[in-house]
Structures are given as C-alpha cells and as structure tokens.
C-alpha cells in the first residue's frame, strides 16, 4: 500500500522525465552516427525504427503527464489526460504494427516482433486497468499500475531496439589485423 500517492506520482513523473531525457540523448547520438547511415538498409526499416522511437517516447511520456495532472488537478482532468495519451499510444501501436508488416520492415531482429506483441497486450492492460480498478473518474491510485506498466514496456522496447542494432552490426567489426 502506497502511503503518500502524491509523492509517489511526483517521483514517478521524475523517473519518466529522466528516461525521456536519456532516450532523447541516445536517439540523437544514434541518428548522428556513421553506423545509422551505414545500416539504413531500406526506407521501410528506417520508418519502422522511427515509429518504434515515437512509440517509446509516448510510453515514457504517459506516466510523466498523467502523474503531473493527477497531482496538480482534479481527477477528471487526470482522466482526460490519460484518455488522450491512451488514444495516442493505441494509434502509435497500430502504426508500429503496420510498419512491421511492411516490405523490408524490421526484419533485423525477432526480438522486435516479440516485443511488439508483448507491448500490444500491455497497451490493452494500460488502457483498461484504471477503469476496472477505480470506476469513473478513477482515483489517482488506480492509475499507478498502468503508469508502471507503461514505463516497463517503454524500457523493454528500448532494450529491443538497442539489441536489434547489435544484431544488425554483428560481424561488422573493424578489428581485423592490419599488415605493418
């Protein structure tokens, strides 16, 4: 049982903001890297990676904005913010799924496909939990499981994208011996 839900939601928004900032730095470093330019195999794969990055930003942003709305505003406003982010997350999940099915898609890693389906099931849980647990409008504590799941799937999606990049660079080592 969480004793002070306002403090918990504020801390949760801080964790979410930190993850967003770290992810932005990583995304910019990757986009600016020679590796990204070298590995862009197809337009479809690049669009899939873009959709995946967008999805991760939404998954990390949801706990930030919903938590802040719940702490600082009326419960109805928190519910509206949650509904808006839920709709954006669902739309982004559909877009990412569409990109997986595109020719030349994410085919780099089976982990991306597995993660997508895990995330899709998690999105359903995120959207439904506050209403099942708390009714209308849900109290602040009814959103906590959804916010934690959102951070979890944002993290697992980040790991899946990073591992896909490791898979894509396997065997591309430039540590071959040179003749002197």
As given in the structure block, the two tokens for residue 172 are 């591309």
Identify the pLDDT of residue 136: 82
Domain count for the chain, please give it. 1
- Which residue in this structure is represented by tokens 């709305």? 69
Bond into 174 cis (ω within 30)? no
Identify the pLDDT of residue 82: 93
Position 171 in a domain: no
Closest CA to 41 of 169, 178, 173: 169
Identify the pLDDT of residue 80: 94
Judged on CB neighbours under 10 Å (0-12, 13-18, 19+), 113 is middle
* Domain membership of residue 155 as a residue range: 5-166
Position 141 in a domain: yes
* CATH number of residue 114's parent domain: 1.20.120
The whole-model pTM stands at 0.77
Position 52 in a domain: yes
Identify the pLDDT of residue 30: 62
Position 177 in a domain: no
Q: Per residue of the chain (180 residues), give pLDDT as tens.
A: 456 888 888 888 888 888 888 777 776 666 555 555 555 555 656 666 777 778 888 888 889 899 899 889 888 998 999 999 999 999 988 887 777 766 555 455 677 778 878 888 999 999 999 999 988 888 888 898 998 999 888 888 887 877 776 666 655 555 555 555
Q: How many CA atoms within 13 Å lie on the side-chain side of 26?
A: 14
Rounded distance, CA 99 to CA 45, Å?
8
112 contacts: CB under 8 Å, gap ≥ 6: 48, 52, 100, 106, 160, 161, 164
Position 174 in a domain: no
6 contacts: CB under 8 Å, gap ≥ 6: 71, 140
Position 178 in a domain: no
169 contacts: CB under 8 Å, gap ≥ 6: 35, 39
């Amino acid at each position: 049982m969480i004793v002070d839900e306002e403090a918990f939601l504020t801390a949760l928004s801080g964790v979410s903001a930190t993850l967003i900032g770290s992810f932005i730095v990583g995304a910019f470093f990757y986009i600016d890297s020679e590796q990204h330019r070298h590995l862009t195999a197809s337009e479809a794969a690049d669009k899939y990676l873009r959709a995946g990055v967008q999805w991760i930003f939404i998954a990390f942003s949801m706990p930030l904005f919903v938590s802040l709305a719940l702490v600082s505003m009326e419960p109805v406003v928190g519910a509206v913010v949650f509904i808006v982010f839920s709709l954006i997350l669902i739309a982004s999940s559909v877009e990412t799924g569409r990109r997986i099915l595109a020719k030349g898609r994410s085919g780099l890693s089976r982990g991306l496909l597995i993660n997508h389906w895990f995330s899709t099931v998690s999105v359903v849980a995120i959207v439904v939990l506050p209403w099942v647990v708390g009714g209308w409008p849900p109290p602040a504590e009814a959103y906590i499981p959804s916010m934690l799941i959102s951070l979890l799937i944002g993290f697992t999606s980040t790991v899946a994208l990073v591992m896909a990049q490791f898979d894509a660079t396997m065997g591309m080592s430039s540590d071959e011996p040179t003749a002197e």
